[in-house]
Amino acid sequence: MTEPLHVFKERIVAATASATPLQIRGGGTKDWYGQELRGEVLDTRPYSGIVDYEPTELVITARCGTPLSEIDAALAANNQVLAFEPPRFGGTSTVGGMVAAGLSGPGRQFSGSVRDFVLGADLMDAQGQILHFGGQVMKNVAGYDVSRLLTGSLGTLGLILQVSLKVLPQPFASSTRVFEVDEANAIRLLNEWGGQPLPVSASAWVNGVLTIRLSGAQAAVDAAQKKLGGTELTNGDDFWRDLREQSHSFFADTAAPLWRISLPSMAQPLPLAGTQLIEWGGAQRWYRGDASAESIRAAAVAAGGHASLYRGGDKRVGVFHPLAPAVAKIHRNLKASFDPSGIFNPGRMYSEF
């Protein structure tokens, strides 16, 4: 065991023995995300570095504290990318934090989410034992898929030490197109296009403008451009980066809380007073406004989805959508068996565990 692992183990074993909460933290770029922060900080950054990267195997394996910027650079040198385009939220975010938070960016619409790209994970459990799940191969059904269960778990089940991620080649060509269209028609168009073999790799609607990105073979992008029309946005890459990092002007006004509403892609515009930005072909809607948590959640449920209080606002309403009782029971069981003393980020996801 290397030095950082010894330190992690000592702290975790002691924390379990004394039932003292630990706050697992990488670059701290997402401290604002989730419910309350509790416990002494366990900094993952000493355990850092790319362990293995084989461009032709389409897999990268890195320790939890590895800065995402290091991953980005290694992949870029081989013309590859994290296709789910995770938000970086500043320069210090880490691989462990990315997987624990489970947040995906504009590429999620076409390529899939963080968990879709997680192939394996190593976990340090509440006893300080190192457990390996999944692996470095695309297809693996030996044992339950615990590495994907850990993705988006906000560190509540243990310390993610290392992950293996599937990577993809950078598309040969891409082009960003804009269309002036109202919200309802934007939703209609996105769903119609989604049903056709078109290389739409990302989308966003805000303020009467629908922006889409076409990615793939040059010939496919050219043909789709011809078919769909619209006008070209020349600084397309900047637009998608701003969207991913939430530095787009929609996110600038922080007076009202920001909600993330996840819906079936074809759900009609939500009747909520405030402003909205639509992503992921209609499946992710950002809402900024002063509607009550109850009315936002009721609107999300009526449309077949759920709502989380993403940033700002009063967290006492519950950051994440309440769980159905039988689903909450399974959550409690998992937490109790993986973390019997309740030391790993307690209350970060739901206050009850």
**Minimum separation from the CB atom of position 53 to other proteins (A):** 12
Closest CA to 65 of 38, 47, 53, 84: 47
Which residue, 61 or 176, has its beta carbon nearer to other proteins?
Answer: 61
CA angle 215, 220, 225 (to 5 degrees): 80
Which residue, 258 or 349, has its beta carbon nearer to other proteins?
Answer: 349
**Minimum separation from the CB atom of position 91 to other proteins (A):** 27
**Minimum separation from the CB atom of position 228 to other proteins (A):** 13
Closest CA to 41 of 153, 162, 155, 131: 155
**Minimum separation from the CB atom of position 329 to other proteins (A):** 7
> Distance between CA 150 and CA 115 in Å, rounded?
9
Residue with tokens 């975790």, as numbered in its chain:
12
Q: Which amino acid is at 178?
A: V
Which residue, 50 or 92, has its beta carbon nearer to other proteins?
Answer: 50
Which residue, 218 or 295, has its beta carbon nearer to other proteins?
Answer: 218
Which residue, 292 or 337, has its beta carbon nearer to other proteins?
Answer: 337
The set of residues, in sequence order, having a beta carbon less than 8 Å from that of 290 and lying 6+ positions away, is 256, 257, 273, 274
**Minimum separation from the CB atom of position 252 to other proteins (A):** 26
Torsion sign across C-alpha atoms 1, 66, 113, 116:
negative
**Minimum separation from the CB atom of position 80 to other proteins (A):** 8
Q: Which two tokens mark 220?
A: 């496919």
**Minimum separation from the CB atom of position 253 to other proteins (A):** 26
Which residue, 45 or 108, has its beta carbon nearer to other proteins?
Answer: 108
Q: Where are the beta strands (DSSP E) in the chain?
A: 22-25, 40-43, 50-54, 59-63, 80-81, 118-124, 130-134, 159-166, 168-169, 173-180, 200-206, 209-216, 231-232, 258-262, 275-279, 284-288, 306-311
Which residue, 92 or 265, has its beta carbon nearer to other proteins?
Answer: 265
**Minimum separation from the CB atom of position 108 to other proteins (A):** 7
Compute how many other C-beta atoms are within 10 angstroms of the C-beta atom of residue 332: 14
> Distance between CA 150 and CA 156 in Å, rounded?
8
> Distance between CA 162 and CA 33 in Å, rounded?
22
Which residue, 255 or 284, has its beta carbon nearer to other proteins?
Answer: 284
